Chains A and B, each alone.
Chain A
């Protein structure tokens, strides 16, 4: 899709799509999203290490202050972790599975969040202003369907492993028959159909995860690029300075508003990816059928000393 301004075409997806940085023959070896993934992950790990140091219990010599989280970064990370753990994951997964999957789910959340947030920094565009037209790092890795697909594949394996672990092979098979087996023989064809649908559901769920994250990030950045390119389109379209200025101001203001929306979407999509993984995990727990008739599990208790 291109914006056609006079005889100039502007591709708004240019800032969102991956860039091949290194090729051997016709085979791309290094792309911008790969470098971005690695670089942002390094930053992510450094930030999490700093946060862990701030949150960890201090030495006894500090008295009661050793329980305090030091620094705003640690407090922000802690607030998010505690909220997601106590308010979102524990009611869905229960105390035991929350403890078991908290590291994976939190890693998933912060990994996606960091990639999303980094994508909001117009690094390539800033460098472009300084004459650097090709940067090895930039863009939004989570706006790449292959990246979100890889994360979804990991979640898929995590969900299925949890299902086998909780229910065993037989329980897993029965679970996928929708409760029709054991049952009347005449329901066997329906049970088979349900089994096929359930199997498809196992694949559709992570696929939906991947597409949802990719589509949101890609669409948001594309919308922003479209808004910001209106001025350029006006320029190439031969409009006067007043017209270009007016269009630029209006489209720039709209882009700023969309930027705030994108900031929210960055958090929201990271949360949705993590939370839906948790929901799918809970659906594979062997006590799924009893959930409707039993009270929720008690709130998460801290690990015994």
Chain B
């Protein structure tokens, strides 16, 4: 192939290339070095005074702000945790107290019920005893009265006997009257 493209090292450029002077790659041209030194030192001085303090202060301010906010948040969290723990403790105490009160109330109610029952039973027993005593008293009184009435009748009967002769019919009538009175006494 004619005019084949080849790539190799050549010593010099051809004439007629761009007519500009280009120093060699490793040429010790001091002007760029001095320029770089001066430009960098001036730039550094300017930035050191005008720029970096603002940037560093801005970053530090924000760091401090974030640290402050985090510290505040931590403190708030700790306070919230403490309040929650206290609340839970109080809630547990209240529950315990309520349970205790309920148990106490149950025990009291039970005691009162037992007391009422005992008292009622005692009162009933007393009322029964009293009734029995009353009945006994009444019975004794009745018997005493009966005896007294019987004695009175006997005396009366004896007096009537002593005053007149008692026929069979009288005798019969007296007995019946006595029995009738006795029955009346019993009914009373």
The smallest beta-carbon distance between B46 and chain A, in angstroms, is 6
Cβ–Cβ contact A146 & B25, under 8 A: no
Instruction: Judge if B188 is at the interface, Cβ distance under 8 Å.
Output: no
CB contacts (< 8 Å) of B169 on chain A: these are: none
Known: A6-B5, A14-B18. A78 touches B37 (CB 8 A): no
CB contacts (< 8 Å) of B20 on chain A: these are: 19-20, 134
CB contacts (< 8 Å) of B47 on chain A: these are: 45, 48, 103, 107
Instruction: Judge if B48 is at the interface, Cβ distance under 8 Å.
Output: yes
Known: A8-B14, A34-B35, A237-B3. A55 touches B55 (CB 8 A): yes
Instruction: Judge if A122 is at the interface, Cβ distance under 8 Å.
Output: no
Cβ–Cβ contact B60 & A303, under 8 A: yes
The smallest beta-carbon distance between A169 and chain B, in angstroms, is 26
CB contacts (< 8 Å) of B24 on chain A: these are: 17
Q: Taking CB as reference atom, which chain A residue is nearest B10?
A: A2
The smallest beta-carbon distance between B111 and chain A, in angstroms, is 67
CB contacts (< 8 Å) of B9 on chain A: these are: 1-2
Cβ–Cβ contact B51 & A52, under 8 A: yes
B-side binding surface: helix, strand, loop or mixed? Answer: helix
B58-79 contacts to A (CB < 8 Å): 58-65, 67
Q: How large is the interface on A (under 10, 10 to 19, 20 to 34, 35 or more residues)?
A: 35 or more
The smallest beta-carbon distance between A233 and chain B, in angstroms, is 5
Known: A52-B54, A81-B55. A18 touches B29 (CB 8 A): yes
Known: A57-B57, A147-B33. A133 touches B18 (CB 8 A): yes
Give A40 to B2 CA distance when docked, in angstroms.
46
Instruction: Judge if A218 is at the interface, Cβ distance under 8 Å.
Output: yes
Q: Taking CB as reference atom, which chain B residue is nearest A247?
A: B5
CB contacts (< 8 Å) of B10 on chain A: these are: 1-2, 4, 9
Q: How large is the interface on B (under 10, 10 to 19, 20 to 34, 35 or more residues)?
A: 35 or more
Known: A4-B10, A81-B59. A150 touches B36 (CB 8 A): yes
Cβ–Cβ contact A9 & B13, under 8 A: yes
CB contacts (< 8 Å) of B58 on chain A: these are: 52, 55-57, 67, 69
Q: Which segment, of A25-33, A183-191, A193-201, A262-270, faces chain B?
A: A25-33
From A11, A78, A233, A237, B17 is in contact (CB under 8 Å) with: A11
Known: A81-B55, A141-B36. A17 touches B22 (CB 8 A): yes
The number of A-B residue pairs with CB atoms under 8 Å apart is: 186
Known: A3-B7, A154-B40. A11 touches B32 (CB 8 A): no
CB contacts (< 8 Å) of A78 on chain B: these are: 55, 59
Known: A48-B51, A302-B67. A28 touches B21 (CB 8 A): yes
Cβ–Cβ contact B23 & A28, under 8 A: yes
Give A252 to B7 CA distance when docked, in angstroms.
18
From B5, B6, B32, A31 is in contact (CB under 8 Å) with: B32
From B8, B37, B50, B65, A4 is in contact (CB under 8 Å) with: B8
CB contacts (< 8 Å) of A30 on chain B: these are: 31
Instruction: Judge if B52 is at the interface, Cβ distance under 8 Å.
Output: yes
Cβ–Cβ contact A303 & B56, under 8 A: yes
Cβ–Cβ contact B13 & A153, under 8 A: no
CB contacts (< 8 Å) of B174 on chain A: these are: none
From A19, A82, A154, B37 is in contact (CB under 8 Å) with: A154
Instruction: Judge if B39 is at the interface, Cβ distance under 8 Å.
Output: yes
User: 6 interchain pairs (CB within 8 A)?
Assistant: A2-B13, A7-B14, A55-B59, A111-B43, A233-B5, A238-B2
Sample of 6 more A-B contacts, CB < 8 Å, known A150-B40, A151-B40: A13-B25, A18-B29, A51-B51, A52-B50, A102-B56, A146-B36
Residue positions of B touching A, CB distance < 8 A:
2-10, 12-14, 17-18, 20-26, 28-37, 39-44, 46-48, 50-52, 54-65, 67
